[in-house]
Amino acid sequence: MTDTTSNSAPIDAAAEAIDLAASDVAWNIETLLPNGASPDDLLDQADSMVDGLADYRGRVATLDAGEMAELMTTVAEIGELSSRAGHYVMLKFSENTADPERGAAMVAMQERSTTTATKMIFIDLEWAAAEDAHADALLADDRLDFCKHHLENMRRNRPHLLSEAEETVLTETSVTGASAWVRLFSELTSAIEVDIDGEMVPLEAGLSNLGHPDRAVRQGAAEAVAEALAPGLRTRAFVFNTLLLDKSVDDRLRNFDTWVSSRNLSNEASDASVEALVQAVVGRYDIPQRWYGLKAKVLGVDKLSDYDRMASVAESDEEIGWSQATTTVRDAYASFSDELAGVVGEFIDDGWIDAPMRPGKRGGAFCAYTVPSHHPYVLLNWTGRNRDVLTLAHELGHGVHAYLAREQGLFHQSTPLTLAETASVFGETVTNNRLLEMIDDPGERFSLLSSTLEDSIATVFRQIAMNRFEHAVHTERREVGELSVERFGELWHDSQHDMMGDSVEITEGYKTWWSYIPHFMGTPGYVYAYAYGQLLALSVYARYEAEGDAFVPAYLDMLRAGGSRSPEELGKIVDCDLADPGFWDAGLAIVEGQLTKAEEAAKTAGRL
Closest alpha carbon to 469 in 428, 519, 429: 519
Task: Place 85 in a pLDDT band, splitting at 50, 70 and 90.
Answer: very high
- The Cβ of residue 37 has, within 10 Å, a number of other Cβ atoms equal to 17
> Quick one: 58 and 137 in the same domain?
yes
Which range has the worst mean pLDDT, 14-18, 84-88, 215-219, 366-370? 14-18
pLDDT per residue as tens digits for the range 283-310? 999 999 999 999 999 999 999 999 999 9
- Residue 514 domain-assigned? yes
Poorest-pLDDT segment among 79-83, 381-385, 497-501: 381-385
Domain count, the chain: 2
Please report, for the domain that includes residue 158, its CATH number: 1.20.140.70
Residue 366 has pLDDT above 60, yes or no: yes
Q: Tell me if 565 is assigned to some domain.
A: no
- In this structure, is residue 8 part of a structural domain? no
Pairing of strands 353-356, 377-382: parallel
Q: Give the CATH number of the domain where residue 236 resides.
A: 1.10.1370.20
User: For residue 124, is pLDDT > 60?
Assistant: yes
pLDDT at 36: 85
Contacts of 146 (CB under 8 A, 6+ apart): 69, 72, 73, 76, 408, 409, 411, 412
pLDDT at 80 over 90: yes
Residue 103 has pLDDT above 80, yes or no: yes
Q: What is the DSSP track for 130-174? A: S-HHHHHHHHTSGGGGGGHHHHHHHHHTGGG---HHHHHHHHHHG
**pLDDT(218) > 80:** yes
Q: Which residues sit opposite 201 in a β-bridge?
A: 194
- How far, in Å, are 64, 67, 274, 454, 566 from residue 59 at the CA level? 10, 10, 38, 55, 28
Let me know how many helices (H) and strands (E) the chain has, helices first.
28, 7
Q: For the chain, what percent of residues have pLDDT higher than 70? A: 98
**Rounded distance between C-alpha atoms, residue 39 and residue 131, angstroms:** 39
Assigned domain for 341 exists: no
Position 266 pLDDT exceeds 50 = yes
Q: Residue 574: is its pLDDT beyond 70?
A: yes
Q: Domain end: 492, 522, 552, which one?
A: 522
Nearest to 378 by CA among 409, 346, 342: 346
Structure confidence at residue 5 (pLDDT): 43
- Say whether pTM exceeds 0.85: no
Question: Do residue 198 and residue 306 come from a single domain?
Answer: yes
Write down the pLDDT at residue 2.
35
Q: What is the pLDDT of residues 385-410, one digit of tens each?
A: 878 998 999 999 999 999 999 999 99
Residue closest to 29 by CA, chosen among 450, 376, 393: 376
E strand intervals along 326-411: 353-356, 366-368, 377-382
Q: Counting Cβ atoms within 10 Å, is residue 548 exposed (0-12), middle (13-18) or buried (19+)?
A: exposed
pLDDT per residue over 225-262, tens digit each? 999 999 999 999 999 999 999 999 999 999 999 999 99
Distance CA 257, CA 261 (A): 6
Whether the predicted pLDDT of 94 surpasses 50: yes
pLDDT tier at 3 (50, 70, 90 boundaries)? very low
Q: Are residues 225 and 281 in the same domain?
A: yes
Both 130 and 48 in one domain: the answer is: yes
Average pLDDT, the chain: 93
Q: Are 428 and 576 in contact (CB under 8 A)?
A: no
Same-domain status, 289 and 162: no
Using a CB cutoff of 8 Å and minimum separation of 24, what contacts does 170-177 make?
Answer: 170/250, 170/253, 171/114, 171/117, 171/118, 171/121, 172/114, 172/115, 172/118, 174/114, 175/107, 175/110, 175/111, 175/114, 177/246
The residue from 504, 522, 540 where one domain ends is 522
- pLDDT higher than threshold 60 for residue 7: no
pLDDT tier at 438 (50, 70, 90 boundaries)?
confident
Contact 76, 110 (CB under 8 A): no
364 within some domain: no
Same domain, residue pair 42 and 169: yes
Q: What is the pLDDT of residue 6?
A: 44
Identify whether 330 is part of a domain. no
pLDDT of 4 = 40
Position 484 in a domain:
yes
What number of CA atoms fall less than 13 Å from residue 411's CA on the CB side? 20
Selection from 419, 430, 370, 363 nearest residue 394 by Cα: 430
For residue 372, being part of any structural domain is answered with: no
Print the domain residue range for 122. 31-176
Cα distances from 421 to residues 207, 232, 417, 528, 530, in angstroms, run 23, 31, 7, 11, 6
Per-residue pLDDT at 315: 66
Do 146 and 116 have their domain in common?
yes
* CA pair distance 180, 588, nearest whole angstrom: 39
Q: Do residues 138 and 261 share a domain?
A: no
pLDDT digits (tens, 9 = 90+) for 314-327: 766 678 899 999 99
Instruction: Write down which residue in 474, 507, 522 finishes a domain.
Output: 522
Residues 35 and 151 occupy one common structural domain: yes
Q: Are residues 137 and 206 in the same domain?
A: no
CA angle 81, 362, 427 (to 5 degrees): 80
Contact 132, 62 (CB under 8 A): no
Query: Rounded to whole angstroms, how far apart are CA atoms 213 and 216?
Result: 9
Buried b (16+ CB within 10 A) or exposed e, 327-338: ebbbebbbebbe
The model's pLDDT over 139-189, given as tens digits with 9 standing for 90+, comes to 999 999 999 999 999 999 999 999 999 999 998 888 889 999 999 999 999
Residue 35 and residue 168 in one domain: yes
Q: What is the pLDDT of residues 337-365, one digit of tens each?
A: 999 999 999 999 999 999 999 989 998 89
Contact (CB, 8 A) for 219 and 307:
yes
Residues 6+ apart with CB under 8 A from 50: 78, 116, 119, 120
Q: With H, G, I as helix, E, B as strand and everything else as coil, classify residue 263.
A: helix
Tell me, yes or no, whether 121 and 151 share the same domain. Answer: yes
